[in-house]
Amino acid sequence: MSMLDRIVGSRRAADGNGHVAVEAGLVTDATQLASARPTPWQTVQTARNIARPHALDIINRVFERFHELHGDRSFRDDPAIVGGIAELAGRPVMVVGQQKGSSTEENIQRNFGMPYPEGYRKAMRLYRLAQKFHLPLVTLVDTPGAYPGPEAEERGQAEAIASSIQLMTRLGVPVVVVVLGEGGSGGALALGVGDVVLALENATYSVISPEGCAAILWRSASEAERAAVAMKLAGPDLLETGVADALIREPAGGAHTDHDATAAAIKTALVAQIDRLSRVPVADLLSLRYERFRSFGMFVEPNGGAAPEPPAPWWRRILKNPLEKGGL
């Protein structure tokens, strides 16, 4: 039993890779959810609902005294990523999130929550700042994906995402990730590497959008509904695969019906997680974070990973090892 297990409480399951306390009112098992679940496609629609609480709606309700920090110190300030220092139940923390708009105008200004490379570089600057001054980090994931335009390519979208993931895997402060709505591919993962990954009940997390998957595999974007089912991107599936450690319950009808209640549930979960994680030595946090992501993968190894026996040389096959019989 590791240090973290003793402090955090029992593991979710023997084979699970999360370490979330159950008493924080979280859903750690799909059976705890209501039996009449929305279909994956309905979940995708809920996660994208424009009235759903976005990062700043949550930040302003969950944290006290949030002060936003701007810019990546190299190119510009990306409005699709917001971040800053705030207080969570009196404790200073760093919070970084992807920001979608609540109206068409705001969505255009926020680029529909699709960050440019400079957005990820701003996030990295804030991660380093958090590490330097020992501020626990909270990230809020809500993006259809990283912006795929030509300017983003010119400025190194892939490199920015890769570096952001790399920095998060080795960041020496507690990191709690909350998936608020859409967790779109690498663009989401760049904010998604944490000690604990929580997701709202109707959030999704996927390798590609259902439309993109359908366009490639079924050659028709109208098969998105089938793709959404096949991809297992909704809450209960995320628990099953371990991508999310626990789900945060939403008000009946979805998070968009009551922002305050949603924020309150998130706050309870965050306070509990940050409280626990900040008592864990940093070296343990890092090795457990490594193990958490190390354990993803399902494959089969017939020989248990051992190297195959090299074929015996031809003379050995003829002589059948004479040394065993006492020599020639």
Partner 1 sequence: MRLRNPFGRKTQEFPSHLWTQCPSCGEMLFNKQLERNHSVCQKCGHHFKLGALARIELLADPKSFSETDADMVSSDPLGFVDSKPYPERIAAARAKSGHKDAVLTGNAQISGIPVVLAVMDFEFMGGSMGSVVGEKITRAAERAFSERKPLVIVSASGGARMQEGTIALMQLAKTVAAVARLDEAAIPFISVLTDPTTGGVLASFASLGDIVLAEPGALIGFSGARVTSETIGEKLPKGFQRSEFLLEHGFVDQVVPRTQLKERIAFFLNAFRVAGQDLRWSL
Which of 300, 178, 293, 169 lies closest to 241 in space, CA to CA?
Answer: 293
Among the listed ranges 35-43, 49-57, 145-153, 258-266, the one in contact with partner 1 (CB under 8 A) is 145-153
In the complex with partner 1, the residue whose CB is nearer, 243 or 247, is 243
In the complex with partner 1, the residue whose CB is nearer, 62 or 196, is 196
- Pick the binder of partner 1 from 105, 154, 309, 324 (CB under 8 A): 154
Among the listed ranges 57-65, 93-101, 133-141, 238-246, the one in contact with partner 1 (CB under 8 A) is 238-246
| Burial readout 68-105 (b: 16 or more C-beta within 10 A, e: otherwise) | eeeebeeeeebbbbbbbbbebeeeebbbbbbbbbbeee
In the complex with partner 1, the residue whose CB is nearer, 7 or 217, is 217
Among the listed ranges 39-47, 67-75, 156-164, 315-323, the one in contact with partner 1 (CB under 8 A) is 156-164
Which of 112, 93, 96, 95 lies closest to 104 in space, CA to CA?
Answer: 112
Name every residue whose Cβ is closer than 8 Å to that of residue 43 and which is 6 or more positions away in sequence. 202, 204, 228, 233, 234, 235
Position 297 contacts partner 1 (CB under 8 A): yes
Query: Amino acid identity of 230?
Result: A
In the complex with partner 1, the residue whose CB is nearer, 64 or 153, is 153
| Burial readout 279-303 (b: 16 or more C-beta within 10 A, e: otherwise) | ebeeeebeebbeebbeeeeeeeeee
Q: How far is the CB of 41 from partner 1 (least distance, A)?
A: 15
Give CA–CA dist 227/165, Å, rounded. Answer: 27
In the complex with partner 1, the residue whose CB is nearer, 310 or 326, is 310
Q: How far is the CB of 232 from partner 1 (least distance, A)?
A: 5
Position 161 contacts partner 1 (CB under 8 A): yes
Position 144 contacts partner 1 (CB under 8 A): no
Contact between residue 145 and residue 184 where contact means Cβ atoms under 8 Å apart:
yes
Distance of CA 311 to the CA centre of its chain: 46
Among the listed ranges 96-104, 125-133, 225-233, 315-323, the one in contact with partner 1 (CB under 8 A) is 225-233
Q: Which of residues 180-219 bind partner 1 (CB under 8 A)?
A: 185-186, 189, 192-193, 205-208, 212-213, 216-218
| 3-state secondary structure at position 199 | strand
The string of DSSP letters for 81-97 reads EEEEEEEETTEEEEEEE
Q: Work out the angle between the directed axes of helices 117-132 and 157-169 (0-180°, nearest 10).
A: 20
Backbone angles phi, psi at 132, to 5 degrees: -60, -40
Q: How far is the CB of 55 from partner 1 (least distance, A)?
A: 21
Q: What are the Cα distances from residue 210, in Å, to 42, 230, 232, 233, 240? A: 12, 9, 10, 9, 19
Among the listed ranges 66-74, 129-137, 228-236, 314-322, the one in contact with partner 1 (CB under 8 A) is 228-236
In the complex with partner 1, the residue whose CB is nearer, 154 or 324, is 154
Position 166 contacts partner 1 (CB under 8 A): yes
User: How many other CB atoms sit within 10 Å of the CB of residue 36?
Assistant: 5
Q: How far is the CB of 42 from partner 1 (least distance, A)?
A: 18
Q: Which of residues 48-87 bind partner 1 (CB under 8 A)?
A: none
- Pick the binder of partner 1 from 46, 107, 157, 273 (CB under 8 A): 157
Binding site for partner 1 (CB under 8 A): 146-150, 152-159, 161-163, 165-166, 169-170, 185-186, 189, 192-193, 205-208, 212-213, 216-218, 227, 230-233, 237-238, 241, 243, 289-290, 293-294, 296-303, 305, 307-308
